Structures are given as C-alpha cells and as structure tokens.
Structure 1
Amino acid sequence: MKIAIGSDHTAVDLKSEIIDYLKSLNIDVIDCGPQSKERTHYPIYAHEVSTLVQDQKVEYGILICGTGVGMSIAANKHKGIRAVVCSDTFSAKASKQHNDSNVLCFGARVVGTELAKDIVESFLKASYEGGRHQQRVDMLNELDHSL
C-alpha cells in the first residue's frame, strides 16, 4: 500500500509521527510536505495529495492541519476525492465503509498523536462495503461530472 501525506505548518510534527507510524506498518509513504514549520498554506498540500490519489499513484491520502477542516474543504474540490475529517475512530471506519472515503483529514490541534494513530489504523483497516451504499457513492460521483 502507498499513501500520500501532507500538512500545513501547524501539523508538521504530527505528520512526522504519522509517517513513522505508517512506515512501521510497512506502508510506502510519499511526504508531500511541508518540511518545516515556516508559515504556509494548506491548499498547496491538499492539492498535491489529492492529485496523487486522483492519478492512482497512491491508494489513499492523509491531510493534517490545525483542525482538518480546511484540508478537507480543499481536497474535496478535486474530482473523485471523498475527504473526511475525523476526530474519532468510529467516523474514520464508517466513512470508509459507507462513503468509500479516500482521503483522511484530522487536526493537530484537535487530536493527540496516539489518537491520530488509532484514527489512521481504523481508516486503513476498514473496507468499503458497497451494496446499499453504492447508490449514494454513485450519486456523489455524478456530482463530480455535473457541476
């Protein structure tokens, strides 16, 4: 599995912790930046990660900013991206099972390192269920083409 990850300047430390965690699980990681705590803008990194997911160069993306909200808004501007902000493991699991989410977002000012790892684990272990959820995912995909 390969995952792209990005953050803004407020989440560089948590991003590094998550990268180490992913590598400990033998997951290939593309670090889209930033590499320093110098002030930057989250849409840059949301775009880089989302593009890698769109182009199927990675299976999933992870985006971290102060709250996760800005990253999710920016990521969801990209066709085919279903980014979700999660501050708990249940939402991370359910978003993948029911919505076929492909980008996980969370906030460095909202969750601590260990909870962030648990959220990532819940997201990655979950599988899309399809079935009764497929019609809704199809409707979301149709919105990508109609707007």
Structure 2
Amino acid sequence: MADKDETTRLVAIACDHGGFALKEALKSALSGVTWLDLGTDSAASVDYPDFAHKLADAIKDGKAGCGILICGSGIGISIAANRHAHIRCALVHDVTGARLCRQHNDANVLALGGRTTGDVVAKECVEAFLSTAFEGGRHQKRIDKLGSC
C-alpha cells in the first residue's frame, strides 16, 4: 500500500483451493512485491475461513501491512476476513473498485475470486490497491463509524 515502513510494504497473501492458481499467478506477475504467503499450497480442498483468519492474524500481529485473499468467488473469504474488527476487506472485480476501496474505504485487505477474475484483471486490481492511498477527509468519519457496528 502507499505507506511508509517495511512492515506496511510486506503484503500477506492467502487463498483456499479455488484461489490457488490465481495466487500463484499474482506472485509471479508482481515480482516487485514482498509477499508473506500464508497458503494454501495446492489445489487440494481446504476451508477458506482458516486462511482468512491466518491473514487477519498476520495483519493484527504486525507481520504485514495489508493483504490479498482469494477463494473461488471471493465472497466467502471476504466475509470471513471481515469478522475481524481490524480488517476492512473489499471484494472487487475491477480496477475502479480496487482504487476506490483504498481511496474512500481505507481497505486493508483486497479479496478476489479465483474462478471469476482473470489473471490480467486481478494483477491490475492488486497494483491499484497497493499504489492507492486513503484520501481521509470526509471519508474518515465513515471509517470511524465502522468501529461502532
């Protein structure tokens, strides 16, 4: 993300079996990113909440500044991630959504669908997510209200 120190530049990435191929494609396509790969390590069936929780813990513990989550549709893994109070996970399908989730919503996790988003679009989404800063201002009061839900 467009932040300062080394920890915030480390990007956690995790997926279930439905997102494994896209996770590997993103890691190869975005070689300039320092990845903290939290699994899964194959296309064998696993449960997406386990990997969403691992990624949320890595952010909470300061091991990474932001994250990318991938499951088949992106829906389940984003729901699991958003169960954590410190996570603002946005499921996106295009570059505009990836940019706006950072600018307006200060998202710290991007979710993608491994079976619904192609490699090229996913790469563009991750690049936009990582290079866009939160605008703050009028958006901050809305982010503050999320803590009271």
TM-score normalised by structure 2 residue count? 0.91
CA distance in 1, matches of 2:128, 2:72: 21
- 1:77 paired to 2:83: yes
- Superposed counterparts of 1:111-126, under 5 Å: 111-126=117-132
Paired residue total:
141
- Superposed counterparts of 1:20-99, under 5 Å: 20-22=28-30, 24-25=31-32, 27-99=33-105
- 5, 15, 23: which is aligned to 1:15? 23
Aligned residue number for residue 5 of structure 1: 13
TM-score normalised by structure 1 residue count? 0.92
Deviation digits for residues 65-116 of structure 1 (CA, Å, limit 9, x no counterpart): 1110101000000111000000000011001001100000010111110110
Deviation, structure 1 residue 34: 0.8
CA distance in 1, matches of 2:129, 2:142: 19
CA RMSD, Structure 1 to Structure 2 (Å): 0.9
CA distance in 2, matches of 1:54, 1:76: 13
Structure of greater relative contact order (alpha carbons < 8 Å, 6+ residues apart):
2
- 1:129 paired to 2:132: no
Q: Which amino acid aligns with 1:7?
A: C
Identity over aligned pairs, percent: 43
- Structure number with higher helix proportion: 1
Deviation, structure 1 residue 118: 0.4
Instruction: Confirm or deny: 8 A CA contact 1:5 1:63 kept in the other structure.
Output: yes
CA distance in 1, matches of 2:51, 2:27: 15
Deviation, structure 1 residue 141: 2.2
CA distance in 2, matches of 1:102, 1:21: 21
* Regions of 4+ moved over 2 Å: none
Q: Which amino acid aligns with 1:21?
A: A
